[in-house]
Chain A
């Protein structure tokens, strides 16, 4: 039941925000903050009390989950409300809760119109995301997958900025919606195909993860279905060449939207690959891995090159996300325990660093009313402690040791090296490009002569605490990533086992005390 509450809390909170708008603008903010705080606390409580060690009992599929909830929904087609939690989903839900709090706090002063409805949308996105992380009935998963798009559309369309080069927020929102909707439909087709194949073989309709994982399907069909899932997730991750919506959506979204988009919406794609693509179609994924890794490399380089050419600071950060997600893709398809664990750390780390950078650009925008970097320059001495924070997040983004991003990236690279040494060697060049675009940002925004002597407002307490909080987490997980690794270890081990050794679908081999 706990799992249902995890999903319901944001939805209920959203409705409350909407209704309590009539009490003034502050009421929805506090309600939203309370809701997300509660969500975060519940998750942390689960984390504290849960046992995420490797399951000991061989063969028992149920032991994969720490918590499970199951209730029939559409029994005729075997569709259940089937929620389950393991270490991976727990980490990502905790991340959702944390970024939810950040999103509320960072829009405290930025959003001034229709505050209640804004928070309704914000919380519903988060509710949908939590649903995505918990659902293991494929139909339910698809339901939540689509559900999180709609409020995001409104968030961009109603509270976004109309940006440079004649790009409008409505255009960006529409583009976002069409990309994700079209790819979602592909996934629906793949889900239905899988369910029908399962029905054809066994005579039972089922959308359950465990049933479908063992569905006997031909290799060719498996490849096509796998591609359906992969493309849906590839659009969301995003993988070049399906990334077109991301820079526009980021550039036009309000800060809170960007924080959620980069921080958790992109992570749903990586989660989907880890949870569904690899375990459902291990052989097909294995065969597809070289292509996926190549796409990852293309993403790293293309994203980095594009980032260098941007003038809009938010577009720059958006392209860096594409570059970082290339590492995630490579790590996922390398499929070793080390690489997969690295992917988890990198997802969390990127969520923090991207959130930090987007909040930073939001704060610059609030002070200068521009996101064009050619209008900036020489801000080092004018913004109080913001440059220091920016520097730290930029350093995190370029993978400086001591930050969680370093741990993630290097674990991915170390873990991929035995599988594909050349991919690692080429991807490592991406580290230089990461340095180039990151320092480009620093150079253009902070170095050079000041454009005006007029003092700008420094950070207030809200902003300072927010940035310090993110930074503390980035550094903490950079120096001691073990809590993450231990929590996700069993889940990643399961995925790695299914992926690299498809023959063993029912037994868990003891692999020593690792």
Chain B
């Protein structure tokens, strides 16, 4: 009975959003704004309800459930299926995708009102959820890859949603290409795993891997490295992080759903899912942690020097995913997933609040032209305060504190002193930029007419998602315990007495950061402005504003040479070479047709000359 209902419920989680997409895309423009939004939101709401039912069943009987819908491809031993697998990890992800996804869909109904092409918007959003659910439920790597590429495509479509501006199209283009570069690594990793293990089934891979490989075997290290390449691309970590900041060109609910709560965390999910492979490759696991640490620092500094609300949030997302990678690197998979969950709550809240600000201020999103909004936009302000405190890991009251603390503790427990230090510095930076973001947006005096004439959003559609997410971003959200027991490998055990010390230090760092930032941006603004506009300060500002110049570097090293190559080859050099034969034939034709002059005198002369030549040749021949 249990199995039966599960095999019905599991497919529904992705079939419902798919149905939404199909209805919307086959409607051919006949659905109005309201009808489209209703279809899009309803399908998500139903998917969320289905998820609740699944969760209830799973809690009643926690075990791994599997449903095979059909055999996808069957050639010799290549037998990937369209099969779903549910365990605590995928259930956690599923809950985030459909739950937070539903709230964001709902909010989008308010955010997008009056925009052109709502049908298109919701069709993409539902398609995204469909792909994302496949990604987390797929029981084999090929189906996971299906979802993996699908979310990339939807991300592309939604970033470029406002197609009238070429810049948005190029931002979408960049996002797709950069993440696909990562995807190629993942694909090669799949080829390698299939070749070595003869299966793509994830459970089977994890079972066979320790039998085939010893810890530290070069092949398994390579396989893990390739998977890490995929994860790095999707999760916007160094060195494939450059797309995320530009991805903010999309509508804000898209940023909340795809570029904060779900898609960008797919890399974390992948590594947690393939934990067996990564545990066999300790060097790569170490590398994961280092990438996380570098990214969180890089993005933390970059976030300090942004002026666009959404770009601050984008860099902060990168930095928070850096924390998740940090946890993965220490083998603390459950801590990474826990932070993934709380981050989904508070970052979605921050993005939706930012969306509320942006729409209220007539699509102004530059902090230099906002300010003083806290009175006009109390709900958005509250959202920022709650979300921001979770982001800065304000002790005890915020969800972020509990998850981030766990990550830092695992660094200490597993003996990664350097990474712990990076995490602490990152925490300080997080507090700095969060406070800066809130103060510049909501305090001081309004700096433009758009900010002065802000109109607060109204209605349940606007308010409910913000309030629910705000509640989840407090310590109440941290009470949700992802059902990950016995599923992920246990992390290292540390000396418990140090845990409290670490907690106190971390809390101190967060509060110190907040205090310093508050002092700087409330009291010493003039001093700051002076020092960031000249000399070293200005240089540093530009450097961080451009996120350490990595974009420019790639532009020089990759994009320009590629374009140059294309320009050189444009005329098809090889074809040109082949055409030389035609040219040669034409030249011969030209040359010989010269001899056809039609003049008798010429013919007579050439005949005599020819005859003479032949006779001469005969005479001279030995």
Contacts and interface: CB of A to CB of B under 8 A. Distances in A.
B195 A432 contact: no
B569 A410 contact: no
Interface string B147-190: 00110010011001001111011101100110011011001101
Contacts of A417: 191-192, 194-195
Interface in A301-322: 302, 305-306, 308-310
Given A241-B577, A385-B28, A446-B163, A439 B150 contact: no
A196 interface: no
A400 B153 contact: yes
A432 B177 contact: yes
Contact of A514 (B73, B77, B82): B77
A108 B150 CA distance: 35
* Interface-central residue, B169, B565, B577, by most chain A CB under 10 Å: B169
B73 A381 contact: no
Given A410-B187, A431-B184, A439-B177, A447 B73 contact: no
A337 B166 contact: no
A241 B573 CA distance: 10
Contacts of B481: none
B174 to A, nearest CB: 10
A406 to B, nearest CB: 8
A449 B153 CA distance: 22
Nearest to B82: A479
A287 interface: no
Given A417-B195, A514-B75, A401 B570 contact: no
B77 A400 contact: no
Interface in A52-89: none
A391 B127 CA distance: 14
B579 A244 contact: yes
Interface string A417-456: 1100100110011011001100110110011111000000
Contacts of B153: 395, 400
A380 interface: yes
B575 A244 contact: yes
B574 interface: yes
Interface in A487-510: 489
Nearest to A336: B76
A494 to B, nearest CB: 15
Nearest to B185: A428
Given A241-B577, A414-B191, A418-B195, A449 B169 contact: no
Interface in A151-192: 175
A269 interface: no
Contact of A305 (B117, B180, B569): B569
A338 interface: yes
A290 interface: no
Given A400-B153, A410-B142, A341 B188 contact: no
Nearest to B572: A306
Contacts of A247: 572, 575
B566 interface: yes
B71 interface: yes
Contacts of A442: 169
A448 B192 contact: no
Contacts of A385: 28-29
Contacts of B156: 439
Interface string A368-407: 0000000001101100110010010001000011100011
Nearest to A489: B75
Task: Tell me the interface secondary structure of chain B in the complex.
Answer: helix
A406 B164 CA distance: 30
Contacts of A402: 146, 150
A217 interface: no
Contacts of B73: 407, 411, 481-482, 485
- Range class of the A interface residue count: 35 or more
A207 B283 CA distance: 61
Contacts of A481: 72-73
A481 B75 CA distance: 11
B574 A302 contact: yes
B74 interface: yes
B138 to A, nearest CB: 10
Interface string A214-245: 00000000000000000000000000111110
A308 B559 CA distance: 13
B325 to A, nearest CB: 23
A435 B149 CA distance: 11
B165 A241 contact: no
B458 interface: no
Interface string B527-564: 00000000000000000000000000000000000000
A338 B164 contact: no
A5 interface: no
B173 A439 contact: yes
Nearest to A307: B566
A338 B75 contact: yes
B73 to A, nearest CB: 6
A330 interface: no
Contact of B72 (A308, A309, A439, A479): A479
Contact of B71 (A406, A450, A482, A514): A482
Contacts of A310: 570
Contact of A448 (B25, B169, B188): B169
Contacts of B172: 439
A432 B558 CA distance: 13
A288 interface: no
A30 interface: no
Contact of A411 (B75, B150, B173, B582): B75
A244 B579 CA distance: 8
Nearest to B146: A401
Interface in B26-84: 28-29, 70-78, 82
B566 A447 contact: no
A440 B575 CA distance: 23
B126 to A, nearest CB: 14
Contact of A424 (B160, B164, B166, B188): B188
B116 interface: yes
A122 interface: no
Contacts of B163: 378, 380-381, 446-448
Contacts of B181: 432
A424 B578 contact: no
Interface string A472-483: 000000011110
Contacts of B165: 448-449
A448 B163 CA distance: 6
Given A302-B574, A306-B572, A424-B191, A480 B166 contact: no
14 contacts: A244-B578, A309-B569, A310-B570, A384-B29, A400-B149, A400-B153, A401-B149, A402-B150, A406-B149, A407-B73, A414-B78, A415-B78, A421-B195, A449-B164
Given A417-B192, A418-B195, A432-B184, 19 more contacts: A175-B582, A306-B569, A306-B570, A338-B76, A378-B163, A401-B145, A411-B78, A413-B187, A428-B184, A432-B177, A432-B180, A439-B172, A440-B173, A442-B169, A443-B170, A449-B166, A479-B82, A482-B74, A485-B74
Which 4 pairs show the lowest CB-CB distances between chains A and B? Answer: A447-B169, A309-B570, A244-B575, A401-B146
